[in-house]
Chain A
Amino acid sequence: MSMRDELYQQTILEHNRNPRNFRKLEGATHVAEGYNPLCGDHLWVYMKVNASGIIEDAAFEGSGCAISKASASMMTASLKGKNTQQANELFEEFHKLVIGELKPDEHPNHLEKLTVFSGIWQYPVRVKCASLGWHTMHGALEKAKTVSTE
């Protein structure tokens, strides 16, 4: 697959065009800011976690390249309804996916649609784009205020 086909798959382009949960989340319990100085990607991730640790709602806003925007969009969609432990597990799996350590066909995982990013490890400068939203989400759960992928 060419770079353009691999990186810019229809799912990714579609999420870039119409990002899901692209808004400020009022009443969020967890918020963090993520910044990638390399390309100027800058976003905020919001989550509303209830008393039993379930992520009731997740959203993001900010500006960034198609990869970072689509990744954050798909992340918020997949977080809803998971508990924080599952979210952290998913973070670990996604992290391994984008650095090429997790092969979706070979290793059991919970990534589902997120495997669309499985080829990104071949483009090292873009890995940070795909993982910015995730690092920010992880930071929000860990209560870090600002996360940088540089």
Chain B
Amino acid sequence: MAINVQKLRQDFPNLALKVYGKPLVYLDNAATTFKPQCVIDAISNHYAHGTSNVHRGVHFLSEQATKAFEDSREIVRQFLNAKSTQEIIFTRGTTDAINLVAQSFGRAFLKSGDEIVISAMEHHSNIVPWQMLCEQVGCVLKVVPMNQHGELIWDEYIRLLTPKTRLVAMTYVSNSLGTINPIAKIIKEAKDRGIAVLVDGAQAVTYRSIDVQALDCDFFAFSGHKIFGPTGIGVLYGKQQLLESMPPYQGGGDMIASVTFAKTTYNVLPYKFEAGTPAIAEAIGLGAAIKYVQSIGLENMAAHKKELLDYGTKVLSAIPGVRLIGTAQEKTAILSFDVEGIHPHDLGTLVDEDGVAIRTGHHCTQPVMEFFKVPATARASLAFYNTKEELDILVKAIYRAKDIFK
């Protein structure tokens, strides 16, 4: 079903902004997305009328807050099609979720000489936690290379799966190139060999619906703020049996069953991994964001974004001197590019004056930049609320920048 973009845009107060007197053209959605009014309301409503801690008091507000918080967990469970809410752990974001797996699963089950397989297009958050783990336990990081289009080289992936491989940690969708990895196939090859799999789903959750049971991944991580929810909240899905076998990540309140100075008994899942007062308002906001996305339909959003991607690819490629970086057959609405003779940072500053917000830099993927031999790229990343007219404004702004730098 075609979505009514103009009508939906009214759900996002941020989209009505003007910068330097010009309408804002926000094309930085891979960094973070805007929040619809219903999400803002859910958060402010909690603070205005429902502030309380969760899982503690017996008073009215505490019970109400606990219910709202746990309702969100159920919304997330349905969203990922997990078996149980015990498999849904609230974290600070994708990065926090990956660090949790590295420090809990990794330190408990990986030893010297074991191998972790990642890809050449990973975000730093799916590289550095594993490097830290390698330093701690002596395991080894193996990197699946990609081709000039920014696609994973399949045969190399298969070659890197060895009897030493203990974990595959792979992004579903590349944040700097837009590449969609064949994640179901990737997981299957690993699972057939008894290897655990973590999926970095940060960019994937706005691309298509996720079914962790069908995917059969062991872990799936995503962030609230990239799916129109608040910052400071994310999710780690983990298979129950695996989570139960893992030691806690952080110690503190809420994650314990009983504490004496002699011995502490840990709480049941998912609380074992949620030490301290959680991001309550943010979790409630995430629940509202997921319900909002479901009310529009991910497939409907994806159809509109595919149109935008095709249009954007066409109009950007038509500009002399523009080179698209990341030209995978399967990709999401992320357009990374450079313009001959203009450093991306200068381009970002110049188009900003036309009200256009794009990201410039290495996008936390320095190895990707190195591979394509660029110091940085400009990146336009699109959400369902973007329009072809906005892409036209970007194109005009690039021409103006070229004029200044000619």
Residues of A within 8 A of B (CB): 2-4, 7-8, 13, 16, 37-42, 63-67, 69, 123, 126, 129
Known: A4-B350, A4-B353. A39 touches B345 (CB 8 A): yes
Least distance between A105 CB and chain B CB atoms (Å): 26
Q: Which B residues are in CB contact (< 8 Å) with A63?
A: 343, 375
Digit string of B3-24 for contact with A (CB within 8 Å is 1, else 0)? 0000000000000000010000
Least distance between B287 CB and chain A CB atoms (Å): 35
Taking a contact as CB atoms under 8 Å apart, the answer to whether A38 and B349 are in contact is: no
Q: Which A residues are in CB contact (< 8 Å) with B375?
A: 39-42, 63-64
From residue 340 to 391 of chain B, which have CB atoms closer than 8 A to chain A?
342-346, 349-350, 352-353, 360-362, 369, 375-376
- Interface of chain A, helix or strand or loop or mixed? mixed
Taking a contact as CB atoms under 8 Å apart, the answer to whether B346 and A66 are in contact is: yes
Known: A13-B404, A65-B346. A38 touches B361 (CB 8 A): yes
Taking a contact as CB atoms under 8 Å apart, the answer to whether A64 and B343 are in contact is: yes
Known: A39-B376, A40-B361, A42-B375. A129 touches B345 (CB 8 A): yes
Taking a contact as CB atoms under 8 Å apart, the answer to whether A40 and B346 are in contact is: no
Q: Which B residues are in CB contact (< 8 Å) with A41?
A: 345, 375
Taking a contact as CB atoms under 8 Å apart, the answer to whether A126 and B362 are in contact is: no
Q: Bound complex: CA of A4 vs CA of B350, how far in Å? A: 6
Residues of B within 8 A of A (CB): 20, 342-346, 349-350, 352-353, 360-362, 369, 375-376, 404-405
Can you report 10 A-B residue pairs in the complex whose CB atoms are below 8 A from each other? A3-B20, A4-B404, A8-B404, A40-B345, A40-B369, A40-B375, A67-B345, A69-B343, A123-B349, A126-B349
Closest chain B residue to A40, Cβ basis: B375
Taking a contact as CB atoms under 8 Å apart, the answer to whether B350 and A8 are in contact is: yes
Q: Which A residues are in CB contact (< 8 Å) with B20?
A: 3
Q: Which A residues are in CB contact (< 8 Å) with B360?
A: 39
Taking a contact as CB atoms under 8 Å apart, the answer to whether A40 and B404 are in contact is: no
Q: Which A residues are in CB contact (< 8 Å) with B346?
A: 8, 65-67
Taking a contact as CB atoms under 8 Å apart, the answer to whether B353 and A3 are in contact is: yes
**Known pairs A39-B344, A63-B375, A64-B375 / 10 extra A-B pairs, C-beta < 8 Å:** A4-B404, A8-B404, A13-B404, A39-B343, A39-B345, A39-B376, A40-B361, A42-B375, A63-B343, A126-B349
Q: Which A residues are in CB contact (< 8 Å) with B376?
A: 39-40
Q: Bound complex: CA of A42 vs CA of B352, how far in Å? A: 23
Query: Which of A4, A8, A13, A65 is within 8 Å of B345, CB to CB?
Result: A65
Known: A39-B343, A39-B360, A39-B361. A3 touches B369 (CB 8 A): no
Q: Which B residues are in CB contact (< 8 Å) with A129?
A: 345
Least distance between B186 CB and chain A CB atoms (Å): 30
Least distance between A22 CB and chain B CB atoms (Å): 15
Closest chain A residue to B352, Cβ basis: A3
Closest chain A residue to B344, Cβ basis: A39
Least distance between B371 CB and chain A CB atoms (Å): 14
Taking a contact as CB atoms under 8 Å apart, the answer to whether B361 and A3 are in contact is: no
**Most-contacted residue by chain B among A39, A126, A129 (CB, 10 A):** A39
Q: Which B residues are in CB contact (< 8 Å) with A13?
A: 404-405
Query: Which 10 A-B pairs rank lowest in CB-CB distance, beginning with the nearest?
Result: A40-B375, A39-B345, A65-B343, A65-B345, A40-B376, A66-B346, A65-B346, A3-B353, A63-B375, A4-B353
Q: Bound complex: CA of A38 vs CA of B360, how far in Å? A: 9
Least distance between A124 CB and chain B CB atoms (Å): 12
Q: Which A residues are in CB contact (< 8 Å) with B353?
A: 2-4
Least distance between B298 CB and chain A CB atoms (Å): 33
Q: Which A residues are in CB contact (< 8 Å) with B405?
A: 8, 13, 16, 66
Q: Which B residues are in CB contact (< 8 Å) with A126?
A: 349
